[in-house]
Structure 1
Amino acid sequence: MITTQHPSTKQDILQYLLKEDRATAQALAETLAISPQAIRRHLKDLEEEGAIEYKSVSTGMGRPQHIYQLSPKGRDRFPNRYGEFAVSLLDTLAETVGQEQVSNILQKQWERKAIEYRDRIGKGSLEQRVAKLVEMRQSEGYMAEWYLLEPTEINQNATEQFILKEHNCAISNVAESFPSVCGHELEMFAAVLPDCTVERTHWINDGEHQCGYLIKAR
């Protein structure tokens, strides 16, 4: 006898959020025909796995309501071949217009990205700008984090220094085939933080487990 394996409730939740963008626990419970208590257990598990996130929205006199949506990590659970398509497209461009022209195109792309980042980051303190930069990288699928380096006893007068880490690469397919994008990314960070020097300390393409950057105030 052949049995059909039904998708799990967690997968049903993820598929619903992918289709509808966001939903409350009550809406999910009604749609999937399971109890609110059960749906909240599944939502808690998915949140701990990093697959979903929520925002609290005030609805009047009652308690704030949680609105759930997929996180970048949750979206990655659904098959996509965007990276392969991007590499194939760049390979075709290289064959058509030449490798040098492709390098120029990638350079222009990162210059545009730097302008976008700078506009969104604004003019706060360096710590605020680094935090905002990491937040934007996270929204693009990077598992990014940052922390402040404390001055050492030897050098108490050192300028502000921060470490930015990215534990994955959202464009790994492209970076493997066109490693020049990593150089452009470093230039982009420097352009976004013009009052700093930015140095690469770790590089996934070199076989390390993360990309790391040291940001120093001038």
Structure 2
Amino acid sequence: MMATIHQSSTKQDILQYLHKHIQATALELATALEISPQAIRRHLKDLEAEQLIVYSSVQVGMGRPQHVYKLSSKGSDRLRGEYADSYGEFAVSLLDALAETVGHDQVSTILKKQWQRKAQEYRERLGNGSLSDRVATLVELRKAEGYMAECHPTDTSNSRDRFIITEHNCAISNVAESFPSVCVHELEMFAAVLPDCTVERTHWIINGEHRCGYLVQARKNRLNE
């Protein structure tokens, strides 16, 4: 039983890595996940049989061609969750009905109110600790909600006061595609959750990028305290 659980976890790690990095060789996966190339190849073979990944052969130098693996559309759907699309379609349908009934401006107001509630919930969970602790807690909350979030300090002398939050999956992508204003309110939500910081969008899935990114930086007056 424990072997089955470990195998399932490793396969999930492979899918998540390919989602974040777009593509990878077996050796790159083995190195990143710290398991043997032989074990990686067994998992890749299983995932290929399940049609969750695909590969192409790429010639590198004078050696043998290497297999480069990517997620298939089925793999992407599996990673998002079997029911995510259905819930998203229901949410979009509901918002469309509201827009027809009360107008798009009112729908935008409703979405903004929802993000304000979310900001209040996050702030209560984050507490009043250091910026690094609050950002770490926020990332864990987002991760639990399906955003595949992670955070890294920036490469500066004040890295403890500057962070990049990256979200490799959008849990509300269906809604965001039909109602882009939800992303504006989401950015406002992050700023409300971290009122002593500026929050800027650096990447945006809706613009065709593979992730959403936010630069979180402590305000100058706080840095000088």
TM-score normalised per structure 1: 0.67
Which of 121, 128, 134 pairs up with 1:129? 134
Alignment of 1:98-113 (within 5 A): 98-113=103-118
**Any idea what SS the aligned residue of 2:171 has?**
coil
Amino acid at match of 2:210: H
User: For the residues of structure 1 that align with 2:153 and 2:173, how far apart are their CA atoms?
Assistant: 27
User: For the residues of structure 1 that align with 2:133 and 2:208, how far apart are their CA atoms?
Assistant: 31
Figure out how many residues of one structure are paired with residues of the other and give that number. 155
1:207 equivalent in alignment to 2:208: yes
Note if contact 2:153-2:159 (Cα within 8 Å) is conserved in structure 1: no
**Any idea what SS the aligned residue of 2:146 has?**
coil
User: For the residues of structure 2 that align with 1:186 and 1:164, how far apart are their CA atoms?
Assistant: 12
User: For the residues of structure 2 that align with 1:79 and 1:136, how far apart are their CA atoms?
Assistant: 18
**Any idea what SS the aligned residue of 1:141 has?**
coil
Change (3 A) 1:178 1:194: same
User: For the residues of structure 2 that align with 1:158 and 1:44, how far apart are their CA atoms?
Assistant: 35
Aligned equivalent of 2:102: 97
Amino acid at match of 2:169: N
Change (3 A) 1:157 1:88: closer
1:44 equivalent in alignment to 2:6: yes
Note if contact 1:203-1:212 (Cα within 8 Å) is conserved in structure 2: yes
User: For the residues of structure 2 that align with 1:104 and 1:125, how far apart are their CA atoms?
Assistant: 32
**Any idea what SS the aligned residue of 1:162 has?**
strand
Change (3 A) 1:201 1:79: closer
User: For the residues of structure 2 that align with 1:164 and 1:75, how far apart are their CA atoms?
Assistant: 19
Amino acid at match of 2:188: E
Stretch deviating more after TM superposition (76-85 or 103-112): 76-85
Seq. identity, % = 64
Q: Structure 1: which 5+ residue stretches go unaligned?
A: 1-38, 52-72
User: For the residues of structure 2 that align with 1:114 and 1:170, how far apart are their CA atoms?
Assistant: 17
Aligned equivalent of 1:25: none
Change (3 A) 1:135 1:179: same
Aligned equivalent of 2:182: 181
The offset of 1:77, in angstroms, is 3.8
Note if contact 1:93-1:102 (Cα within 8 Å) is conserved in structure 2: yes
What do residues 64-117 of structure 1 show as CA deviations (whole Å, max 9, x unaligned)? xxxxxxxxx778145761000000000000001111110110010000000000
RMSD of the alignment, in Å?
1.9
Q: Structure 2: which 5+ residue stretches go unaligned?
A: 14-77, 220-225
What do residues 117-164 of structure 1 show as CA deviations (whole Å, max 9, x unaligned)? 00001111000000000000000011110011132xxxx468711000
- Structure with the bigger percentage of helix: 2
Change (3 A) 1:92 1:158: same
What do residues 155-193 of structure 1 show as CA deviations (whole Å, max 9, x unaligned)? x46871100000110000000000000000000000000
